[in-house]
Amino acid sequence: MSTTIKLYGAKQSTCSQTVKVVAYEKGLNVDIIPCNFAVAEHKSAAWLEIQPFGQVPYLDEDGFKLYESRAMSRYLATKYADQGTQLLPDLTDLKAMALADQFMSVEASNFYPYTSGIAKEAIFAPMFGGKTNPEALEKHRSDLKAKLEGFERIFAKQDYLGGKEVGLADLYCLSMGVLAEKVFSDIFDDPAKPNVAR
């Protein structure tokens, strides 16, 4: 029986969703405790004590607190390595871990900036009373398209970023990737990149 993990965040926050997806794959219970944005709870002194950048989410498991969605995800994948889907290689396998780190870094630098840029311009800006900047949006889209050529080369050689099986790096792509697809429905469906589509 696993402990219940408390995630202080928001259902609709992509970072909260990343942690939820990982927890789901590991067969873990997660309670989402919503941050009260109406009173800017995430900017309160109490919150900043735990998450110094005033962001969501943070995790609390039996008093152990952690933030940064990828760090939280990696913690769950490591601590619960023996249950659910295996999302990391054997931690003592130097080369396998290096490749896992490589592809997790790929997601952070070659995927996320562009998918989150798309989401920010096309979804979040209007949602929060701002305006989409069409030039910025188009730049993110064309930059992402160029980066997907790199992903195409990777997926021509392996099934997932995690290798033969899904790994953390693949799951990290999901929450912002899904939003980017909502904006540009064919972004991952380019006939020139069949392996990305697969």
The site for other proteins (CB under 8 A) is made up of: 48, 52-54, 64, 66-68, 70-71, 74-75, 78-79, 91-92, 94-95, 97-99, 101-102, 104-106, 108-110, 113, 147, 150-151, 153-154
Nearer to other proteins by Cβ, of 62 and 185: the residue is: 62
Nearer to other proteins by Cβ, of 82 and 185: the residue is: 82
CB of 108 to other proteins, least distance (A): 5
First to last CA, the chain: 36
Nearer to other proteins by Cβ, of 152 and 181: the residue is: 152
Opening angle at CA 52, ends 46 and 58, nearest 5: 75
Nearer to other proteins by Cβ, of 8 and 151: the residue is: 151
For tokens 């290689």, the residue is 89
Closest Cα to residue 119, out of 101, 84, 144, 100? 144
Closest Cα to residue 125, out of 194, 39, 183, 42? 183
CB of 74 to other proteins, least distance (A): 5
CB of 154 to other proteins, least distance (A): 5
Q: Tell me, what amino acid is at 55?
A: Q
CB of 114 to other proteins, least distance (A): 12
Other Cβ atoms closer than 10 A to 70:
19
Helix, strand or coil for residue 61? strand
